[in-house]
Amino acid sequence: MVAAEKELTALQLWVEHAGKAAGTFLVKTAIAILIYIIIFKVLKRLLKHLNGYMEKKGVAKSVRSFTTGIIKYGVLFFTIVTIVVQLDIVESASIAALLASAGVGISLAAQGALSNMAGGLLLLVLKPFKEGDFIMVQGTDVIGTVDKIAIYYTSITTIYNEKYDIPNSELTGKAVKTVETGSFRRIEVKVGISYEEDIRRVEAVLQELLDADERILKEKQVYVDELGAHAVIMGVRGIVKAADFVQTKWDLNKAIRLRFAKEDIQIPYEQLDVHVITKE
């Protein structure tokens, strides 16, 4: 009986201790959440004012977004660590040990993120392109307009109205051809014709197609580009607005094909003539 009473007493003491510890933990957690919410709302207001101030000073949208993003995530990270340590939700020694043991894994996992952040910073400082520019990324199918340069990614809307979020490290490591908004681009289309065709007649047809397209503004030119193995390569070119480049090129290719069919102008294809010599 005495042993049973001792065990019961020990159990009661453990339950009381566990209850107090759980209650204390819940109170600390509630305080931590409250402090986080307050800091988050204050930070949101401050960043809004900071963004407005930078906008008045003429700071680019991409720079504003990058700066506010860095401040936001940095402050929130240190806020969480400080709250956890100060409220003794987790002992500081435990946090230090956890960070030390996970240091290698965190550094490896963060390599991509840090690389993208560094890439974003380079894009904002060196400005190889800016928001609103029409760019072509070498080695990819991405051709479109830059919508936003953020901390980790750059958002691009392609000519097919598809949105790509490309890591900044990819853009800093590849060749990027930039065409600024509102500028002009040279359009060029080449087509082969048979050696049997009258070049002067073909030139007249192509010149007529160039003159008929109002999007081709100047420097309209028809020329013989190459005397190929199977065809005479004719070329047409002119200057168009950057925004009209792709659609104009598509339309011009279509117009040439339809007009050649109407005028019975042959577009040759590679072929091999075999001559058989027999002995009598």
What's the pLDDT score for residue 114?
63
What's the pLDDT score for residue 87?
65
**Domain architecture of the chain: domains with CATH:** 2-101 (no CATH), 124-179 (2.30.30.60), 184-263 (3.30.70.100)
What's the pLDDT score for residue 36?
80
Phi, psi at 276, each rounded to 5°: -100, 120
| Token pair 């040990």: residue | 97
H helices of the chain, in order, are: 2-56, 61-86, 92-101, 103-126, 168-172, 199-212, 245-263
Chain centroid to CA 5: how far? 71
Query: Along the 280 residues of the chain, how does pLDDT read in single tens digits?
Result: 555 555 656 656 665 666 666 666 777 777 778 888 888 888 888 888 888 887 777 776 766 777 777 788 778 777 777 777 666 655 555 556 655 665 555 555 555 566 766 777 777 777 777 777 777 777 777 777 888 887 778 888 877 777 888 888 777 777 777 765 557 778 888 989 888 888 999 999 999 999 888 888 888 889 998 888 888 899 999 888 877 888 888 899 999 999 999 888 888 877 666 777 777 6
Q: How far is CA 152 from CA 21, 135, 161, 218, in A?
A: 42, 18, 22, 41
What's the pLDDT score for residue 147?
83
